[in-house]
Amino acid sequence: MSRIARDALGDLVYDQIVRMLLNNDLKPGDKVLKKELASILGVSQTPINEAVNRLIREGIIEQKDRSGLFVRVFTNEDMMELFAVRAGLEGSALHLCMEDVQNPRFQKLLSLFDDFTYPIPEDRYREYQKKDQEFHGEILKISGNRVILDFIRNFEFILRCYQKGLIRNPDETLIEHKEIIHAIRNNDPDLAQKLIMSHHWKTRERLKDMPAS
């Protein structure tokens, strides 16, 4: 197998493990068994090792002495630091996106929450969380900023932010999402940036009041 083919397989396996983490097939605190992953994904040990080592470097998987490898559990303090950085990063990304507001990929985001009204029933919380992830993740990617994109690749920023699921009530954040979208539709990048930064800062403040994890 050529080096390019091996690299492509390693990237594919990495993406599949990240998807398992996002889908809670691998939960925070779970032990990571490489042989089991190789069996589930139908690949050899080599791409599993490469993907796991990458997740270790990114701080998503950690080695606990002689106990083995585990999915890292992020504390409230960890999450507060991440949301503080995310507020500034995503605010800048959104401002950049609005330099090309007619981008079809960006326009698609503006209708993501159209199907949600107040109050959101609990049986739609998971659906709402996926829309939330898509909205924020796509803003970062569509910005096209290489520094932001490198940050995503190196630290799996969105993955870390969603390990605790929905931190605030969906009815509360839905109002904020719709306000952000309204500012975008009105072509007001400064207000949109301010609103999305406030959106993440409120989540950071909520983490202060949550029981220690």
CA separation for the pair 107, 62 (Å, rounded): 38
Q: Which among 135, 128, 209, 112 has a CA at the least distance from the CA of 169?
A: 128
CB 80 within 8 A of CB 40: no
What integer pLDDT is reported at residue 165 of this predicted model?
Answer: 72
What integer pLDDT is reported at residue 4 of this predicted model?
Answer: 43
Residue 154: pLDDT over 80 = no
pLDDT-based confidence at 156, cuts 50/70/90? low
Q: pLDDT tens across 50-79, in order?
A: 999 999 988 889 999 888 999 998 888 988
Domains in the chain with CATH codes: 3-71 (1.10.10.10), 76-209 (1.20.120.530)
- Kindly tell me the sign of the dihedral angle through the C-alpha atoms of 140, 193, 111, 21: positive
Q: Which residue has the higher pLDDT, 113 or 4?
A: 113
List the strands of the sheet with 61-64, edge to edge: 31-32, 68-71, 61-64
Residue 189: pLDDT over 90 = yes
pLDDT-based confidence at 10, cuts 50/70/90? confident
Q: What is the mean pLDDT of the chain?
A: 89
What integer pLDDT is reported at residue 150 of this predicted model?
Answer: 82
* Helix (H/G/I), strand (E/B), else coil: 172: helix
What is the pTM (predicted TM-score) of this model? 0.78
pLDDT-based confidence at 22, cuts 50/70/90? confident
pLDDT-based confidence at 155, cuts 50/70/90? low
Buried b or exposed e, range 167-176, using 16+ CB within 10 angstroms: beebeebbeb
Q: Which residues contact 63 (CB under 8 A, 6 or more apart)?
A: 56, 69
